[in-house]
């Protein structure tokens, strides 16, 4: 049986793999699925970080709320990094569930680097607690 620590590391690994999936989709100019993968890359990293601190939620909105309460408001995640996850939550909802929503390259490409920075920061928080 996996330990909670194993699951945390697995989720961070999955976040990075999902970011790579987003890059592949971007290279194929598949912007809506790219946004979906960027959101999920953030989601996996956030859920891993929460799990390390004994927090979890069965709903995406709950994960987002816990993240904002325990990491953004407390300054553990810089205010300039947090919006990428919150923005992608909204954009993913639009792209997945609303008709005629089409993302464009100029909108999506900047998110890729921001998501990488976001995941790197969350991974550093996890690593600092494990040390």
DSSP 106-120: HHHHHHHHHHHHHHH
**What is the extent of the structural domain holding 22?**
4-130
pLDDT score for 32: 97
Please count the structural domains in the chain: 1
pLDDT score for 2: 82
pLDDT digits (tens, 9 = 90+) for 35-78: 999 999 999 999 999 999 999 999 999 999 999 999 999 999 99
pLDDT score for 121: 97
Position of tokens 């945390």? 8
DSSP 3-state assignment of 23? Answer: helix
Domain of residue 48, CATH code: 1.20.120.330
DSSP designation for 56: -
| 12: nearest Cα among 127, 131, 113, 128 | 127
10 Å CB burial of residue 82 (0-12, 13-18, 19+) is: middle
Let me know: does 119 contact 45? Beta carbons within 8 Å: yes
């Amino acid at each position: 049986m996996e330990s909670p620590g194993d699951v945390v590391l697995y989720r961070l690994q999955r976040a990075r793999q999902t970011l790579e999936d987003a890059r592949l989709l971007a290279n194929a100019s598949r912007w809506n699925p790219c946004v979906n993968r960027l959101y999920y890359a953030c989601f996996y990293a956030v859920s891993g970080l929460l799990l390390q601190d004994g927090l979890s939620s069965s709903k995406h909105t709950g994960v987002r709320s816990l993240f904002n309460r325990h990491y953004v408001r407390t300054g553990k995640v810089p205010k300039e990094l947090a919006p990428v996850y919150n923005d992608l939550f909204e954009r993913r909802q639009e792209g997945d569930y609303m008709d005629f929503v089409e993302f464009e390259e100029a909108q999506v490409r900047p998110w890729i680097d921001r998501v990488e920075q976001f995941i790197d920061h969350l991974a550093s928080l996890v690593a600092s607690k494990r040390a």
